[in-house]
A and B are shown apart, each in its own frame.
Chain A
Amino acid sequence: MAAPAANAPVWLGLTRVVLQRIASALLTLLLVSIVIFAAASLLPGDAAQEVLGQSATPEQVAALRHEMGLDQPAVTRYLDWLAALLGGDPGRSYIADMQVTELIGARLVNSLSLAGITALVSVALALTIGIVSAINRGSKLDRALNIVTLSLVALPEFLIATVFVLLFSVKLVWLPSIAMVSPEATWSEMLRSMALPVACLTFVVSAQMARLTRAAVADQLDRPYVEMARLKGVTFRRIILFHVLPNAAGPVLNAIALSLSYLMGGALIIETIFSFPGLASLMVNAVTSRDMPLLQACAMIFCAAYLALILIADIVAILANPRLRS
């Protein structure tokens, strides 16, 4: 057992654990890239044949296969792809005849702003719901919120989106049902067109987040220190704000990071429904047109973002709980 004076070793140990987690996440990302490449490259069909169509002569197909590097062994192709990916060049789209980076560039920014706004709104909403229902555990309000969030978790994203479109675009005519994001649009136009996608994604994400938050806060409320504080005569407000919330911060932040990873699955559907020019709808298009270089690049971006969120959750949990540090 280290004495309290030995501050440096504690920090050293912490840095080591965090670095280990980062290394492990990077290793996972490498393994994920193998899975994605294998799944997308070992297709039954032949990409060169598909690009050229049925009328192509065997010589043309062979020439294109050579140009695309398809005549190389799979391991060589994987290493080439990985090296190019690390160098920031995920290749050329089969269909659009453009560099994949060009296709992704602007859309990545759009998707990130959609995710950012959604994260802000849903964190505020979910924390409020989670904390309120934890404080009022067992009450009618808590049970009602439990059923509502439980049901929302089970609803498909496209259902929430269709109901929202029906309500706000068709019946009330408040908001556009198609998200036009153009560089010339003013801020207010942008926000108006993003309102419905953000609202739908918020619904999808915050239900789970609120449930996890409630569980984390309720868990703290059961601890002996809360009872002790109560016996000392500390007001309930003070117990929640100064005793419970700081202690629940770790698990709650963990819950936030985990729930935000649901954003990616949700974005696939929501971006497509609202024709939002983001990365997720690009990926759905890539699946429809079987544009493998584009699909691989999109999948890798999503996996990297997902792993980053999990990693942040992991590190926050370590920072918040000294027992996980060793």
Chain B
Amino acid sequence: MKQNGTELGYNSKVEGDVVVTKADAVINWVRSHSVWPMPMGLACCAIELMGASASRFDIARFGMEVMRFSPRQSDCMIVAGTVTYKMAPAVRRIYDQMAEPKWVVAMGACASTGGMYRSYATMQGVDHVVPVDVYISGCPPRPEALLDGMMRLQEKIRTEHSSRELLGGREEQMKLRA
């Protein structure tokens, strides 16, 4: 299994009982395969989100079936639906309550850009209040699109400098992100 140039596979004939790899690769591998999503269902996209987690599309194949309705127990907020200005502060506060590391997926046109709701009441994209990692197009996106987006999130997680972020402290982390 080749990922970002790091050999994750293990060949016992060559290596005996020892596995040599990078800390980043291990941490990212663990993180990307057990994303616990927090369904921020605000509109019809949430129905497709439910479809994605049911048997036909089976988001469990990617280790994401544990949808948690508590921000304390989840690490990926899937914003599925229209974010009104009245709701936006609540979305931000729930995001703030999630433990690090955390990611945000803007599912569908509304969460990404406001979609068809060009009006006084709708925030034109949830990225005005929370940092978004993956945008998924569609109105609403089909479950396959959501799964594709989540796989891209996994790819993104695998490129992160996790060990430096874990060991290097907050300041360096902020430098890395800047």
A and B interact: no
